[in-house]
Amino acid sequence: MSRAILWFRNDLRLADNMALTAAMAEHDEVLPVLVIDPVQHGPSLFGSDRSGSFRRRFLHQGVLALAAALRSKGSALSVRIGDPASVLLQVSRIWKADVVHAQRLYAWEEQEQASAVATELDLRLHAPNTLLLPGDLPFNVEQLPHVFTAFRTKVEQSSPVREVLPEPERIPSPPYWGERLLGQDELPYVPYPDEPRSVITFHGGRAAGLARLRHYLWDSHAISTYKETRNGMLGADYSTKFSPWLASGALSAREVHQEVKRYEVVNGANESTYWIIFELLWRDFFQFTAAKHGRDLFLRSGIANKPWQGGQDQDRFKQWCEGRTGQPFIDANMHELAATGWMSNRGRQNVASFFVHQLGLDWRMGASWFERMLIDYDPCSNWGNWQYVAGVGNDPREGRRFDPVRQAGMYDPDGAYVRQWS
């Protein structure tokens, strides 16, 4: 009889879960454990907690949904709070399981977590939630091109997207392996009413992610005009809004790809349907950038290792966080973020550029604020995009900055967005 721990990380799903598939293939019984490391939710370098109520509520909902899914397969989820290495070692000793299967995560802290687990236990890491598997890239991750276009051109010519793995019928676990869920006071959040102006209501968990996927493709056909609308800022369907479910792993990038391909077969492919895959490649690019550069993704001098002079003036920082900079387009976006945990890609680029280039602040403070506030926070996408805007990352056109007045003229010409969020 062999037993393995299935360590859930940012992969809150049973379908297309390579760690689960491998654990089931190699062992008789599986012990599903999700570890919440308080360090990743506690104070950041700049003071405030690293996760706020939007992401915490979304995570609570996602965990409940995963627990229900495991229950329906005859298994049970055990949620533990603590340092992953200590928690998993304890579980392995009690339950006599010294093999751990888990998803590989590329951000520095997550790599460190895995290394600590691997010193104690036989840790088997499986592919991350990327569109392309690292082993299918035409280069080693260390040779990842510095610029997105070079990466995309190479992978589009040669890297296949793997088929989605099915959900298992049943997941065998030991008879006394009981469910343990998050208590109210564990990772607490301030309950908040749904904001009527929010682009959509974000609910954590797979069912809501699948519903959003269905809506964007099959119900609204918004996918077929994505390329024209994706720079929008108002309303539910200017962009997919898949990111929170991708970040928590309730959806896999390969599942989104498969569904887009199915849509193209039925309704025809166009530039818009392709552009969603193009954006998922941007996501992959930042994941692999994190793998290549490790801790540099979080350092002030960035992956480009350039001196960065931004200051840490607390008053200016607070004005930006609270949407009191006096620049209406910037302030409206910051109000939306504060009220909903969401901001469009156009908004994110503008407020980040303003933070760095107009306010002259240390870009890591802005990235930390996003980490706390964004419902779709993902370390690789967030810190990678911030570095890009700050000019210490992968942007080939250095020093690019957005003029918020011009941007407002282009993307909010009648001022409807600023009126909604002022």
Ligand X SMILES: Cc1cc2nc3c(=O)[nH]c(=O)nc-3n(C[C@H](O)[C@H](O)[C@H](O)COP(=O)(O)OP(=O)(O)OC[C@H]3O[C@@H](n4cnc5c(N)ncnc54)[C@H](O)[C@@H]3O)c2cc1C
Pick the closer one to ligand X by CB: 76 or 256: 256
Pick the closer one to ligand X by CB: 8 or 383: 383
Pick the closer one to ligand X by CB: 263 or 377: 377
Q: Does 239 bind ligand X (CB under 6 A)?
A: yes
Q: Does 348 bind ligand X (CB under 6 A)?
A: yes
Q: Are the C-beta atoms of 288 and 144 separated by less than 8 Å?
A: yes
| Side-chain half-sphere exposure of 162, counting CA atoms within 13 A | 19
Binders of ligand X among residues 309 to 328 (CB under 6 A) are none
In the set 7, 58, 242, 288, which binds ligand X (CB under 6 A)? 242
What is the Cα–Cα distance from 169 to 74, expressed in whole angstroms? 9
φ/ψ (deg, to 5) at 191: -60, 140
Pick the closer one to ligand X by CB: 51 or 381: 381
What is the Cα–Cα distance from 419 to 422, expressed in whole angstroms? 5
Q: Are the C-beta atoms of 275 and 227 separated by less than 8 Å?
A: yes
Q: Does 353 bind ligand X (CB under 6 A)?
A: no
Stretch that binds ligand X, among 62-70, 206-214, 384-392, 412-420 (CB under 6 A): 384-392
In the set 9, 41, 241, 316, which binds ligand X (CB under 6 A)? 241
In the set 37, 259, 376, 412, which binds ligand X (CB under 6 A)? 376
DSSP of 234-297, one letter per residue?
Answer: SSSSSS---HHHHHHTSS-HHHHHHHHHHHHHHH---HHHHHHHHHHHHHHHHHHHHHHHGGGG
Q: Under 8 Å CB-to-CB from 10, ≥6 apart: which residues?
A: 103, 105, 129, 247, 248, 249, 378
Q: Does 377 bind ligand X (CB under 6 A)?
A: yes
Q: Does 131 bind ligand X (CB under 6 A)?
A: no
First-to-last alpha carbon distance for the chain, in angstroms, is 62
Pick the closer one to ligand X by CB: 171 or 281: 281
Q: Does 345 bind ligand X (CB under 6 A)?
A: yes
What is the Cα–Cα distance from 311 to 331, expressed in whole angstroms? 20
Binders of ligand X among residues 263 to 282 (CB under 6 A) are 276, 279-280, 282
Pick the closer one to ligand X by CB: 168 or 209: 209
User: Taking the CB of residue 385, how many other CB atoms lie within 10 A of it?
Assistant: 22
What is the Cα–Cα distance from 314 to 416, expressed in whole angstroms? 31
Q: Which two tokens stand for residue 128?
A: 């991350």
Q: Does 171 bind ligand X (CB under 6 A)?
A: no
In the set 88, 117, 321, 352, which binds ligand X (CB under 6 A)? 352
Pick the closer one to ligand X by CB: 4 or 373: 373
- By C-alpha distance, which of 35, 117, 114, 28 is closest to 75? 28
Nearest-approach distance from CB 43 to ligand X, in angstroms: 19
What is the Cα–Cα distance from 328 to 310, expressed in whole angstroms? 23
Q: Does 361 bind ligand X (CB under 6 A)?
A: no
Pick the closer one to ligand X by CB: 129 or 173: 129
The residues of the shown chain that bind ligand X, judged by CB under 6 A, are 230, 239-243, 246-247, 276, 279-280, 282-283, 286, 344-345, 348-349, 352, 370, 374, 376-378, 381-382, 385-386, 389
